[in-house]
Chains A and B, each alone.
Chain A
Amino acid sequence: VKQPVLHQVIVGTAPGDAITAQAFAIRSWLHELGFHSEIFAKYIHQALESEVRPFVTYRPARAESFLIFHHSIGSSLVEEVAQLPLPLILVYHNITPAEFFADVDPVWKQRMLLGRQQLQRLQASTHLGLADSFYNEEELRASGYQETGVLPIVVEESEYNLPNNEGLVARYRDGGPNLLFVGKVAPHKKQEDLIKLLYYYRRIQPGARLLLVGDKWLPGYDEWLADLIANLGLQQSVVLTGRVSQQDMVTYYRIADLYVSMSEHEGFGKPLIESMYLGLPILAYASAAVPLTVGQTGLLFHQKNFEVLAELVDIVMCDPGLRARIIERQRQRVQMYLASEVRQTFLSYLAQLSLVEK
């Protein structure tokens, strides 16, 4: 009996990246099912060189009947994948709207525009379009995809059940309330608005601190944030960590008191479900997929009035009953994103494609 083959292709891989983590989860499920499955990428972070193969080495095998392609950005790789003689299972992770880069970085703007065009082009070679959220599924349907489904971003529990980095705990668990946001430092994630919120919140709680966990990404934005922090006199209260290890990231979730998101575009928002899993209440701007990911658990807001939001943050901080109820609702909701649940969903799609028995 020939071993079934189902490979995945992804533009870029990096440790801590939600799409990369999803590809690894899918690969491990496929291995459990007896498939030969590898991940091919155009850009491979050096830490993953032993795990991911360069796309230039990929050749479709006879035993392959489908290829999984993760789409999230414009790239010449997409054109190559679209020309392969294999139907695709497209996993759509959303593309940040180009307008966030129109006035700041032409190359990124171009990549996002190209990504949207390529989403249309990929339709012809796609057999099944899977989105990682209902929000993204809507976009697939709006782009003309007929056969679609939802395969959520997954929480692999073993990656979060790690011990704390005690050095971080000693440094930041000092009583001053800690606000946390996790995500790359980018204009659409709106870290600047969190800094503005902190300015107001420190008028209520002078010891408050903002922990911004995430890789630096767009140099101009980093500089602008640094200027804003200096102008507001918040140098001692804003911590920009840069890229951190999984253990440090988990520790930051644990030493934080509230997860706050001002992000204006999230295709899914993995840190939201990480917060849910690690018992951190969420207060988030209701943009893009955020309301669908959070559901009726945390607190959402639809306008950015920093003065009002600072009071709301303080109310949530000072009401243990409300916090406990939010955390409990979040704990219930996160069950649907745990690996065991998502694996079943993935299996049902494989069965739909006759890749496994129903």
Chain B
Amino acid sequence: MSDSEIIEFIEIHDPQVTATMLAGEIRARVQQRRQLGKPHVDFPTYGAVTACPEASQELPFRPNLFHHLRQANRSYNRIETATVLAPSPATQVPVLGRLWSLIREQAHSLVLFYVNRATVEQLKINRHLVSVANELTIMLQEQQATTGRLQQEIEMLREQVERQKEEGK
């Protein structure tokens, strides 16, 4: 990270210490720390799902794979849990209607409470599965790109060998 990048992200209003001064000191400290063998570490993020990769025109791809992947990414968290409490004739009855509404609402909330516990667990699994599918597809795309490059290289080398053979004759 450069000094200017650090300056942009620090906001200080002090008569003696400026963002520029802090940036210089921080950069020097980070460099020193790295020289001591303390590497940069990346961490996981709670609730994060790996972004869905797009099919690349340069790489061969199976339309079905990307169809299912897009669908999974769109729907893994589409879980409706709103209570549906439409007014009914019973809720319109004076005094008792209000009481009935309260009982209905409490009953719906209770069901929702327990359903949501299971839903949260399901959502966690969905998140992991969709992330794994996205990660695997990204890896596949990277491997396809590597394989393509290697094939081109083999082709070039093969042509070179052919040419050398021709010249040797």
Chain A interface residues (CB < 8 Å from chain B): 56, 76, 102-107, 110, 114, 187, 192, 196, 199-200, 203-204, 219-221, 224-225, 228, 232, 286, 291, 296-297, 299-303, 305-308, 311-312, 314-315, 319, 321-322, 325-326, 329
Q: Which residue of chain A has the shortest Cβ distance to B36 in the bound complex?
A: A203
Contact B26 A308 (CB under 8 A): yes
Contact B41 A199 (CB under 8 A): yes
B residues in contact with A232, CB < 8 Å: 43
Q: List 18 A-B contacts (CB under 8 A).
A: A56-B102, A103-B47, A104-B120, A105-B116, A228-B43, A291-B11, A299-B10, A299-B11, A301-B9, A302-B9, A302-B11, A307-B40, A308-B6, A308-B30, A314-B29, A322-B16, A326-B14, A329-B13
A228 to B105, CA, bound (A): 38
Knowing A303-B9, A308-B1, A325-B14, the reply to whether A196 touches B112 (Cβ < 8 A) is: no
Contact B6 A221 (CB under 8 A): no
B1 shortest CB reach to chain A, Å: 6
Chain B interface residues (CB < 8 Å from chain A): 1, 6, 8-17, 22, 25-26, 29-30, 33, 38, 40-41, 43-49, 77, 79-82, 85, 102, 105, 112-113, 116, 119-120, 123-124, 127
A residues in contact with B14, CB < 8 Å: 322, 325-326
A residues in contact with B44, CB < 8 Å: 228
Q: Give the contacting residue for A104; candidates B26, B41, B123; CB below 8 A.
A: B123
- The residue in B10, B49, B116, B123 that gathers the most chain A C-beta atoms within 10 A of its C-beta is B10
A residues in contact with B119, CB < 8 Å: 106-107
A187 to B48, CA, bound (A): 11
Contact A297 B11 (CB under 8 A): no
A187 to B25, CA, bound (A): 32
- The residue in A187, A192, A286, A311 that gathers the most chain B C-beta atoms within 10 A of its C-beta is A311
A170 shortest CB reach to chain B, Å: 33
A326 to B15, CA, bound (A): 11
Knowing A103-B49, A103-B77, A325-B16, the reply to whether A300 touches B120 (Cβ < 8 A) is: no
Q: Which residue of chain B has the shortest Cβ distance to A108 in the bound complex?
A: B116
B82 shortest CB reach to chain A, Å: 5
Contact B82 A114 (CB under 8 A): yes
Known: A107-B113, A224-B46. 4 other contacts (CB 8 A): A192-B46, A301-B9, A302-B9, A308-B6
B residues in contact with A104, CB < 8 Å: 46-47, 120, 123-124
